[in-house]
């Protein structure tokens, strides 16, 4: 990855993925990366937390959701949101929240702009791919099914199935192990600070999706660069650079 001079602003980072050439695999987060699902998560969290009297019954803000909740595995959220609660009671609130989330998205979910184009390009190039997520199994399966991506991914790695979920690197390292690939020839798409940190800790470049989280937060977490969606010219310039490097 290109190094930064001591006085360079992190948002000035060059949009390059050339360091992974020849590219062998692309790893994707699911929530907020394949689709704009955060608004549904935010609504479900806001309703459920208000119902149980969190923050004195005052609804959480989008800023609180982005900073404290987005991308964080539910098991970690239990201690973050309910540090004084019995763990089973806290887990049940989050189970109910996920059920509400699935009801909300079941008929409204759409692929992030440019995803069909990117899928076609990846399949044409013959790159390996995996979905790596902190989402529950039911959420992941529903989203992939609704987006017609179940057959696109060779494997799906769940944070709950790893020793540690994101922001630890374990889910991404598990994906590489299952694909029998090196981190030297793969990169990641992520939309959350937690996910970016996990990818960086797994020693892979991470392309941030500025779907909902601030670009600067993703860059500060270690994203190589941030794109608006999968149609972003920055992404396609970087992908073409990878292909040209091995021609």
* 63 domain residue, yes or no: yes
Q: Are residues 208 and 132 in the same domain?
A: yes
Q: Are residues 189 and 201 in the same domain?
A: yes
HSE-CB at 197 with a 13 A cutoff on CA atoms is 12
Q: Does pLDDT of 10 surpass 90?
A: no
* 178 domain residue, yes or no: yes
Structural domain for 87, as ranges: 38-105
Tens digit of each residue's pLDDT (9 = 90 or more) over 165-223: 999 999 999 999 999 999 999 999 999 999 999 999 999 999 999 988 899 999 999 99
Single residue among 83, 105, 127 that ends a domain in this structure: 105
Those residues with Cβ within 8 angstroms of residue 192's Cβ, 6 or more apart along the chain or in another chain: 29, 31, 32, 70, 71, 72, 166, 213
Q: Does pLDDT of 153 surpass 70?
A: yes
| Contact between residue 34 and residue 230 where contact means Cβ atoms under 8 Å apart | no
Q: Does pLDDT of 5 surpass 80?
A: no
Closest CA to 183 of 130, 237, 147, 227: 130
Tens digit of each residue's pLDDT (9 = 90 or more) over 75-123: 999 999 999 999 999 999 999 999 999 999 988 899 999 999 999 999 9
CATH of the domain at 222: 3.40.50.1000
Q: Are residues 180 and 207 in the same domain?
A: yes
The pLDDT-based confidence of 4 (bands split at 50, 70, 90) is very low
DSSP state of 135: S
- Answering whether pTM is above 0.85, one says yes
The pLDDT-based confidence of 3 (bands split at 50, 70, 90) is very low
Q: Does pLDDT of 48 surpass 50?
A: yes
* 83 domain residue, yes or no: yes
Q: Are residues 126 and 55 in the same domain?
A: no
Q: Does pLDDT of 13 surpass 80?
A: no
When divided into structural domains, the chain yields a total of: 2
* Share of residues in the chain with pLDDT > 70 (%): 94
Question: Can you tell me the distance from the alpha carbon of 176 to that of 173, in angstroms, rounded to the nearest whole number?
Answer: 5
* 171 domain residue, yes or no: yes
Per the DSSP assignment, residues forming a β-bridge with 158 are: 133
Mean pLDDT across the stretch 26-48? Answer: 96
For residue 94, what pLDDT is reported? Answer: 96
What mean pLDDT value characterizes the chain? 92
Q: Are residues 184 and 208 in the same domain?
A: yes
* 146 domain residue, yes or no: yes
* 48 domain residue, yes or no: yes
Q: Which residues are catalytic?
A: 29, 31
Q: Please, what sign has the CA dihedral across residues 95, 158, 239, 192?
A: positive
Q: Are residues 156 and 219 in the same domain?
A: yes
For residue 151, what pLDDT is reported? Answer: 96
């Amino acid at each position: 990855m290109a190094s930064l001079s001591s006085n360079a602003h992190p948002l000035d980072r060059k949009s390059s993925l050339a360091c992974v050439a020849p590219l062998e695999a692309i790893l994707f987060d699911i929530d907020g990366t394949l689709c704009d699902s955060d608004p549904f998560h935010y609504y479900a969290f806001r309703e459920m937390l208000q119902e149980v009297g969190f923050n004195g019954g005052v609804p959480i803000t989008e800023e609180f959701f982005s900073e404290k909740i987005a991308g964080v595995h539910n098991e970690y959220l239990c201690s973050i949101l309910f540090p004084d609660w019995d763990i089973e009671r806290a887990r049940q609130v989050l189970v109910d929240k996920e059920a509400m989330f699935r009801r909300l998205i079941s008929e409204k979910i759409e692929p992030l702009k440019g995803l069909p184009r990117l899928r076609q390009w990846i399949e044409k190039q013959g790159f390996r791919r995996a979905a790596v997520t902190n989402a529950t199994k039911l959420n992941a399966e529903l989203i992939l099914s609704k987006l017609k991506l179940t057959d696109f991914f060779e494997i799906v790695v769940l944070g709950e199935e790893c020793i540690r979920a994101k922001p630890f690197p374990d889910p991404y390292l598990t994906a590489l192990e299952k694909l029998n690939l090196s981190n030297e020839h793969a990169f990641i798409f992520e939309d959350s600070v937690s996910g970016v940190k996990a990818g960086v800790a797994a020693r892979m470049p991470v392309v941030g999706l500025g779907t909902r989280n601030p670009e600067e937060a993703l860059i500060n977490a270690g994203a190589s660069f941030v794109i608006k969606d999968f149609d972003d010219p920055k992404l396609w310039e970087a992908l073409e650079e990878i292909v040209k490097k091995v021609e």
